[in-house]
Structure 1
Amino acid sequence: MSKPSESIFRRLQFYTTAAYPCSYLPGRMARSEVAAPAHLVDDAAYSRLIEQGFRRSGLFTYRPACDGCQACIPLRVDTRRFQRDRTQQKLWHRMQATLSAGIAPLHWDARHFELYLRYQRQRHPGAGMDQDDQAQYTQFLLTSRVHTEMAEFHDPDGTLRMVSIMDRIDHGISAVYTFYDPDWHGSLGTYGILWQLDYCRRLGLPWLYLGYWIEESRKMAYKSRFRPHQILRGGVWIEPASN
């Protein structure tokens, strides 16, 4: 076991995983630093961990600890200063008139799972998350010891089109995962982030944490389009010149 560079709580320990294939940069190997034991990562500890660049997957709270690579950069959007650009504004008004959103506690729903499988099979085929495995889905998205909620988006006919999993923390929201109807017209992924930014503002929360931005990954490029944002460098949140 090893301690992180910043001491968070003396009761937590941190270990580095064995190397595994990177999900974002082909041909590279990755490692993660994991907070343990998982049952001691409560809401207060989790808020501090998120602020220091950690993320959550099921009961695992982790951050990248790769050998010789620092491509994964934590990114958070300033919800108080965020202004939608022209394209985002058009999308916002169109989707506001098309989709209704509701908040629900974390729960199993067969419709969610069916939508999740369709999304994975079309958007991330072969990534290992497209199997008809309810246990894997439950472990990944429905297992949490912190304040987690779901946003469900329906069209006027009542058909489920998108689900966002969000963690509420002391100073914002951490966007855990969003999946949506891959055949639906429009940019549902972008709208999901715009909606979460608006939700943060309605709750009076200053930050929306979008996980890791990777400049070399096309899958992650969209995150930097939400401005102003900050990135975590050397343990300090800074606003890049590109803002």
Structure 2
Amino acid sequence: MRHTLPIAPQFYVTAPQPCPYLPGRMERKLFTALQGEGAQRLNDSLSKQGFRRSQNVLYRPACAECSACLSARINVHDFHPSRSQRKTLNRNSTLERRSTSPWATEEQYALFRRYLEHRHADGGMADMDTFEFAAMVEETPIRTRVVEYVDTETGELAAVCLTDVLDDGVSMVYSFYDPDRTSASLGTYIILDHIEIARENGLPHVYLGYWVPGSPKMGYKAAFSGLEVYVNGAWEKMRDPDGYDAQLHPLSNDPISEQVANISLPDGRPLPAHRSRQGGR
């Protein structure tokens, strides 16, 4: 019988580009391909280390002069809805959750376009066509679901979330919703319902992506109790949001080689430092 050793993932670094969250700064990402039989285990492991998935890629901010972006997740056991969040649940009582396989539809894309035009007209996804949208939804080598929210009174699709299922939670990859339902707080509602999804399935966490102190776009995440952020290689309970300084000195950031060396693979092995390379992604 022939045995082969698993190939450790290769890590690359993107070229610097303008930061979408903090003006006047440049962002850079550390990323690796998500593929093969070990894709699910790799995604589970790196998600716990602050990485996020985009199609067949896992990435984490690795900016040279800033480390403001903090991976955020909700500890389901420690979450207790605020009065405002309970009102949000009541306002959306007519919505029905429908979980499907990762398959893009014309109805989803139409809602996605309306959402972008009203909320992110100048964002990086503004020019995404139907084929690129389908790729975003369908190109996944792991356990992924499309969670739709349908208004039972009108039959209209109100919101959608592309959701990964991890071994310790659910990860909200990307969500969008009807921009005309401004009073419904649909963005908050989707997160609240994902907390319920995690609870129903006995999963301890809901991964929200990145929280960026000083960015108005990300401020809403700090409103959830039970929030944890990934800081200096470990998860910690969110302190006073104002206590997280976005103005970090560049010398406080570890070199890319050290960041890669501190990444743990699913079997617990650290990666050798030489596995990071410059990339143009």
Compute the TM-score of the two structures, normalised by the length of structure 2.
Answer: 0.79
Q: Which runs of 5+ in 2 are unaligned?
A: 1-5, 242-281
Find runs of 4+ consecutive structure 1 residues off by over 6 angstroms.
Answer: none
Structure 1 Cα separation of the partners of residues 133 and 33 of structure 2: 22
| SS across alignment from 2:123 | coil
> Identity over aligned residues, as a percent?
37
- Larger Rg: 1 or 2? 2
C-alpha displacement of 1:11: 1.4
Aligned mates of 2:112, 2:34 — CA distance in 1: 29
Amino acid at match of 1:137: F
2:206 to 194, 205, 208: 208
Alignment partner of 2:18 out of 21, 25, 46: 21
Could you tell me how far 1:196 is from its partner in structure 2?
Answer: 0.3
Residues 109-124 of structure 1: matches in 2 within 5 Å?
Answer: 109-124=105-120
Alignment partner of 1:220 is 2:218: yes
Kindly indicate whether structure 1 or structure 2 has the higher relative contact order, using CA contacts under 8 Å at least 6 residues apart: 2
The aligned residue for residue 12 of structure 1 is 9
Q: Structure 1 residues 127 and 236 mapped into 2: Cα distance closer, same or farther (>3 Å)?
A: same
Structure 2 counterpart SS, 1:200: helix
Quickly say closer, same or farther: Cα 1:19–1:239, change in 2 above 3 A: same
Aligned twin of 2:267: none
In structure 2, what is the equivalent of residue 53 of structure 1?
A: 50
Q: What is the alpha-carbon distance in structure 2 between the residues aligned to residue 189 and residue 220 of structure 1?
A: 12
Cα 1:208–1:94, aligned 2, differ >3 Å: closer, same or farther? same
Aligned equivalents of 2:235, 2:31: Cα separation in 1: 21
Aligned 8 A contact 1:58 1:139 in 2: yes
AA aligned opposite 1:110: E
Which amino acid in structure 2 is aligned with residue 196 of structure 1? H
Counterpart residue number, 1:199: 197
State the 1:90 CA deviation.
Answer: 1.3
Superposed displacement of residue 41, structure 1: 5.5
The Cα shift of 1:68 comes to 1.3
TM-score, normalised by the number of residues in structure 1: 0.91
Please identify, of 119-128 and 198-207, the stretch whose mean Cα deviation from structure 2 is larger. Answer: 119-128
> What displacement does 1:131 show?
2.6
Q: Secondary structure at the match of 1:230?
A: strand
Pairing of 1:1-243 with structure 2 (within 5 A): 11-36=8-33, 38-39=35-36, 42-95=39-92, 97-131=93-127, 133-155=129-151, 156-184=153-181, 185-242=183-240
Cα distance change on mapping 1:128 and 1:211 into 2, 3 Å = closer
* Shift in Å, 1:19: 1.0
Secondary structure of residue in 2 paired with 1:158: coil
Closer/same/farther in 2, CA of residues 37 and 108 from structure 1, 3 Å limit: closer
